[in-house]
Amino acid sequence: MNKLFNYGLLSALALLSYSCEPDFLEDPVLTNTGTLTSVQFEEAAALDPSLPTGLMSGVYALTFTTGTGGTGGHDDFGMKSYDVFSDMLSGDVALSQSVYGWYRASITEFGAPQDFTFGDNRQVWRYYYRIIRGCNSVIDGLGGMDATPESQANKYTMGQAKALRAHSYFYLANFYQKEYDASEPILPIYRSAADQNGPKVPASEIYDLMESDLTDAIALLDGYNRDNKTEINQDVAKALYAYVLGARGTDYTKAYNMAVQAISNYPVMVGAEVTGGFNNVNTPGWMWGVDLNQDIGLGLISWWGQMDYYSYSYPAYGDLKAIDASLFAQIPANDIRKGQFLNNTAFAQHLMPLFKFYDSDRVHTGTSSIVKADYVYMRVAEMHLMAAEMAAFAGNDGAARVHLKNLVSTRVPDASYIDGLSGQALKDEIYLQTRIELWGEGKSYLAMKRNKATATRGSNHLSFVGEPIPYNDERMTFEIPEGEIQYNPFISTQNQ
């Protein structure tokens, strides 16, 4: 983490000036006189090779910096904000008790997806486009989209920028399109920091850029040994490619191959790790995450501040997030993951994740107002499940069963029941295991869309209990925000 903070925080603060509204054209790299153009950046990078790495560190810092969605809200804390949004939209995370009002009207009662004036539409949009802008600045400074940097260090930096840009477009595409339709215009596309406001382009063009970026990233990151897990390496880039292909649904075999290639360097979390708090980035099964510490200074406005009973947090004071009661009921009693959730007389209806996510001190309301538990962005269990899912969708049930058993056999005493599954029953089991294994990690919404599933909320939700909500329901996607319509002349003249 040292390199990240030697260069990154100043760059991150500068990048906070970006959005797709009036300040869209502000360059995120600041100098004494105001801005640094891409040409100036390229010249400076030639003199100081650490500059591109430093700027990329700043972009990474935005993924866990508060306010990066452009609001002062306590649900605006970087990438993990949208893990919460998506898990609640899918229904797998229940807001089982609401004291302070975060998430209720806008997310769990679907206010934002049905009204473009709700601020959460703007927050999601602004965060991901801010990351894209930062990545574009790095790419421009290294010669642009089609350039291959000369130095190995700059190749690695270019690969990370392209992978993170693809990641941001991937989430935007999922959040703002009901389901993949190649011809439907969905988002503006910006390939350079010099690009100005633009019209929505078809989903196929967005996905083509993601695939191009990730193909380049995988090649550029070959041999890269990262300094810390905050940075994207080749394995993470391959995993992201598997997600993109899975969402697009056009090449399940290639998606399967990408997922399999991403697996080899990481063991699955087992035994005590599964109920050990998910709070240490050095956990071998974590592929991508952030080492948070007191110097970073996150507190209440953080993922831990919204999810953990054992932090200084909203759950500690009554704003409770829980596993959906119906999903919990589907976890076998002898499954180690059943023990991740509290199920006693006092809190039976809440089913809080008191033994999955927690600060290591395990003191109610926390021992400090500063977060020291880490963020997980991706772990290898995802790729075992993705490999199984993509194999099943490609019609390779044998491979699907192998990969599914590789994970499930570490969770239950006997996973032999999987041997008898095929076809839709096998797909359904993979989807269920994905929801159980990755609960609260921001992946159930993506799986819901890939599987074209319907969610029916369990008894511990505060609203819409028992109502079937399909993956392509209007309430499952955000609206292009009011500010974008006002300030982007191309968007304002297109159909919304």
Beta pairing partners, 94? 322
Q: How many Å apart are CA 266 and CA 405, to the nearest integer?
A: 17
Which backbone phi and psi does 358 adopt, to 5 degrees?
A: -160, 150
Q: Is residue 325 in a domain?
A: no
Q: How many Å apart are CA 471 and CA 425, to the nearest integer?
A: 19
User: Do the beta carbons of residue 316 and residue 403 sit within 8 Å?
Assistant: no
Q: Which amino acid is at 273?
A: E
Q: Is 440 helix (H, G, I), strand (E, B) or coil?
A: coil
Q: What is the mean pLDDT of residues 65-84?
A: 96
Q: Is residue 279 in a domain?
A: no
| Average pLDDT of every residue of the chain | 91
Residues contacting 205, CB < 8 A, separation 6+: 189
- The tally of CA atoms less than 13 A away on the side-chain side of residue 256 is 20
Q: Is residue 289 in a domain?
A: no
Which backbone phi and psi does 187 adopt, to 5 degrees?
A: -145, 155
Return the closest-CA partner of residue 78 out of 245, 290, 257.
290
Q: Is residue 450 in a domain?
A: yes
Residues contacting 145, CB < 8 A, separation 6+: 139, 191, 192
Q: Tell me the pLDDT band of 361, cut-offs 50, 70 and 90.
A: very high
Longest Cα separation, the chain: 68
Chain centroid to CA 27: 25
Q: Is residue 308 in a domain?
A: no
Q: Which of 14-23, 91-100, 115-124, 203-212 has the lowest mean pLDDT?
A: 14-23
Q: Identify the pLDDT of residue 38.
A: 57
Identify the domain containing residue 184 by its residue range.
Answer: 2-273+377-492
For residue 381, pLDDT beyond 70: yes
For residue 309, pLDDT beyond 80: yes
More confident position, 444 or 37: 444
Q: Identify the pLDDT of residue 129.
A: 97
Q: Is residue 317 in a domain?
A: no
Q: Is residue 399 in a domain?
A: yes
What are the tokens at 68?
């990066």
Q: Identify the pLDDT of residue 475.
A: 97
Q: How many Å apart are CA 125 and CA 447, to the nearest integer?
A: 21
State the total domains in the chain: 1
Which backbone phi and psi does 394 adopt, to 5 degrees?
A: -85, 0
Q: Identify the pLDDT of residue 343.
A: 65
Q: Which amino acid is at 276?
A: G
End-to-end Cα separation, the chain, in angstroms: 42
For residue 42, pLDDT beyond 70: no
Q: Identify the pLDDT of residue 17.
A: 42
Q: What is the mean pLDDT of residues 259-285?
A: 97
Chain centroid to CA 75: 15
Q: Tell me the pLDDT band of 27, cut-offs 50, 70 and 90.
A: very low
Q: What is the DSSP letter of 337?
A: G
Q: What is the DSSP letter of 465?
A: B
Which backbone phi and psi does 232 adopt, to 5 degrees?
A: -85, 130
Instruction: Report pLDDT digits (tens) over 12-26.
Output: 544 544 334 434 333
CATH number reported for the structural domain that contains residue 161 in this entry: 1.25.40.390
Q: Is residue 343 in a domain?
A: no
